[in-house]
Amino acid sequence: MPYDVGLKDEIISTRDKRLLWWREARFGLFIHWGLYSIAGGVWGDEAVEGIGEWIMFRRMISVKEYEGLAKLFNPENFDAREWARIAVEAGVRYLAITAKHHDGFCLFDSEFTDYNVVRSTPFGRDVIGEISRAFRDAGIRVGFYYSQTIDWHHPDGMGNEWDYDPWAKDFNRYFHNYAVPQVLELIKKYNPDLLWFDIYTPTYELARELREHVYRAKPHVVVSGRIDPPTKSFYLWNQYALRNICRVLPMFADYIQLGDNQIPGHVIRCDWEVPVTHNDTWGWKSIDHGWKAPGRVIQLLITIVSRGGNLLLNVGPKPDGKFPDESVQMLREVGSWLKRNGESIYGAGPAPLEVPENSPYMLTYRPGRLYIHLLAWPWHGTLKIKGAARVFRARDTKILSSDHMLETSIQGEDILIKRLPLRPLDRYVTVIAVDVEPITGANNA
């Protein structure tokens, strides 16, 4: 069916306006919570390998048996306002929470299935509704993760061939009569700022149809990269293609979604985001203790923003509704660093300057100000920013979090930062802010 060229042009021409808040935000909170959180990576007293939310698939648990978890969903410690308070303290600017993951269980009161938190659990409360209100009241943009293709519960969804006969499946019926109506239901009921689709839409036509439905329902909702058809993955996993990814992606989305925990080794000068786990699973696993230290998360945030992207950092709440203590502590530390240095992250992006391999610093930039993030301390008191004098004239220079003024000078094509204190001023990453004037016509990015 020929597509509506006018609508395509309108969707693409309004993308920049839609992304204004998202480009400023830079740091989002991902939450994976559902029936898999009750299993916690264990089934039949046996630890199950891999990411926790895939337990139904890994053990090919029957729909009937897995549905039994719904009877156990009663998170007595769940408090959406507590989650929102932790998120504010962490300095996140937007949220993406699993409204429906691949297991098909809905954390919202859907009229299209009783397999949801309100109608099928002793808890009986509309989690997505409570979360949406609490986070919006806290000033955080609200987004929903929605699995539009894989659905191990629905007979026509993709991915469950152990309960259902693949010959009998009708995916188009699933997509048109269930997935798209549920997405529109989420928009109508909860008014999200972002829809985070996963893991792809099978064909160009279906991806285009879903994009058009969403745009018509709410033009300014931001749509993540995994609405795009599966060919998008070919570009993600080829290093040469990744360098040129802005030529082809996003297709129907508003920004590119890299692979899970995929940190590019170079700047990508268009809109992209990477989802990152705190440990090694998205959904809670009681046996996964591989927590990233706060300093590691801060360095990941700096790396991602310095290469042009957004960090979507995940928390997998426990079955009782509490965030893991390790996640609360990490988020508190990241938030305290952002309170001191957030100007170098929020609304910042890559500098018009290549950073040599293995540099002891990373750069972010906004017009008029260059931010130097020190990964290793220059103990001799002087720091060389390679090639910077080709691009900028340096003016006032200071330690961002303390206003401690520093001196600069030019050495060939480099800018030298001098009179650095004898030891790092920040327990994680000290940031230097350099007021700069671009040298017209110069850019060696």
Looking at the Cβ atoms of 74 and 233, the one nearer to ligand JFZ is 233
Query: Could you say whether residue 280 binds ligand JFZ (CB under 6 A)?
Result: no
Query: Could you say whether residue 68 binds ligand JFZ (CB under 6 A)?
Result: no
Rounded least distance, CB 52 to ligand JFZ, Å: 9
Query: Could you say whether residue 275 binds ligand JFZ (CB under 6 A)?
Result: yes
Rounded least distance, CB 196 to ligand JFZ, Å: 9
Residues 132-191 that bind ligand JFZ (CB under 6 A): none
Looking at the Cβ atoms of 204 and 346, the one nearer to ligand JFZ is 204
Query: Could you say whether residue 109 binds ligand JFZ (CB under 6 A)?
Result: no
Pair 245, 256: CB distance under 8 Å: yes
- Of the candidate residues 29, 33, 53, 151, the single one contacting ligand JFZ (CB under 6 A): 53
3-state secondary structure of 198: strand
Backbone angles phi, psi at 241, to 5 degrees: -65, -35
Q: Which of 217, 236, 380 is nearest to 309 (CA)?
A: 236
3-state secondary structure of 317: coil
- Of the candidate residues 89, 156, 260, 435, the single one contacting ligand JFZ (CB under 6 A): 260
d(CA 303, CA 383): 19
d(CA 385, CA 393): 12
Rounded least distance, CB 96 to ligand JFZ, Å: 9
Tokens of 8: 């395509």
- Of the candidate residues 199, 246, 248, 328, the single one contacting ligand JFZ (CB under 6 A): 199
Pair 423, 391: CB distance under 8 Å: no
Query: Could you say whether residue 82 binds ligand JFZ (CB under 6 A)?
Result: no
Site string for ligand JFZ, 205-234 (x = CB under 6 A): ----------------------------x-
* H helical segments located in 111-203: 127-137, 171-174, 180-190
Rounded least distance, CB 388 to ligand JFZ, Å: 35
Q: Which stretch binds ligand JFZ (CB under 6 A): 47-55, 135-143, 342-350, 434-442?
A: 47-55
Looking at the Cβ atoms of 203 and 233, the one nearer to ligand JFZ is 233
d(CA 79, CA 56): 27
Query: Could you say whether residue 282 binds ligand JFZ (CB under 6 A)?
Result: yes
Looking at the Cβ atoms of 30 and 215, the one nearer to ligand JFZ is 30
Q: Which of 148, 228, 128 is nearest to 188 (CA)?
A: 128
Looking at the Cβ atoms of 102 and 340, the one nearer to ligand JFZ is 102
C-beta nearest to ligand JFZ: residue:
259
User: What string of DSSP letters covers 35-86?
Assistant: HHHHHTTEETTEE--S-GGGHHHHTT--HHHHHGGGGG---TT--HHHHHHH
What kind and span of H or E run contains 234?
helix 232-236
d(CA 225, CA 244): 16
- Of the candidate residues 25, 31, 51, 63, the single one contacting ligand JFZ (CB under 6 A): 51
Looking at the Cβ atoms of 53 and 151, the one nearer to ligand JFZ is 53
Rounded least distance, CB 114 to ligand JFZ, Å: 24
Query: Could you say whether residue 50 binds ligand JFZ (CB under 6 A)?
Result: no
Looking at the Cβ atoms of 108 and 392, the one nearer to ligand JFZ is 108
The 222-223 sheet, strands edge to edge: 222-223, 194-198, 141-147, 94-100, 27-31, 309-315, 272-276, 256-257
Instruction: Tell me the one-letter amino acid at 100.
Output: K
Binding site for ligand JFZ (CB under 6 A): 51, 53-54, 198-199, 233, 236, 259-260, 275, 282
